[in-house]
Chain A
């Protein structure tokens, strides 16, 4: 069964520093990959998605992610963290032919002033 692993349940960075949130998936066939963000008391909002086009995907709020098939990874990065980036981030995957999303356990990002 498809699975997603997010390394690090909590990540803390300083404002202006690089943000790196890690995501690895288990599928042997390139799936569809998503990053969602959840701000307090809000629903999940799509940051970006990979659907077999360019391997470097740009999303909202300056985030981007790179699909690396050889590493089965889809890590999320942002060059310079902002206080407003503090939230919970979820990596998710769906297989070709499937409807459901399979989520990682989430990473809570804290930004230090």
Chain B
């Protein structure tokens, strides 16, 4: 069964460093998403991406964040200058369509900012 994959599974970085989290969505999906879950808190939407542009973003997704689909398979989330409060589990998801469509989630990348 097709699945969303994410790399790395864990990443530790120093405050102020740039990190890139990678995702490979399901191959025939057109909509891509990033969510995050700070330890002990809710899963929060960050951004959705369709047709090579951001289609929706939350207030969390500020100028420190960016997303890209550099090729036909990868979908990345970049955090330019990490802060302590960026420590969280980051989930990538994809869907074939959007309204009411099932979003399929990857296993997540646990990011720890020291």
Residues of A within 8 A of B (CB): 32, 34, 36, 41-46, 49, 51-52, 90, 92, 94, 96-106
Contacts and interface: CB of A to CB of B under 8 A. Distances in A.
A100 B100 contact: no
A46 B100 contact: no
Interface residues of B, number: 25
Interface stretch (B12-20, B76-84, B105-113): B105-113
B44 A103 contact: yes
Contacts of A49: 100, 102
Contact of A103 (B43, B48, B55): B43
B89 to A, nearest CB: 10
B107 to A, nearest CB: 4
Name, among B41, B44, B45, B56, the residue most crowded by chain A CB atoms within 10 Å (CB to CB): B45
Contacts of A51: 100
Given A36-B105, A99-B98, A44 B43 contact: yes
Contacts of B103: 101
A99 B54 CA distance: 11
Nearest to A32: B100
A105 B41 contact: yes
A100 B91 contact: no
A43 B99 contact: no
Name, among A46, A90, A98, A99, the residue most crowded by chain B CB atoms within 10 Å (CB to CB): A99
B104 interface: yes
A43 B55 contact: no
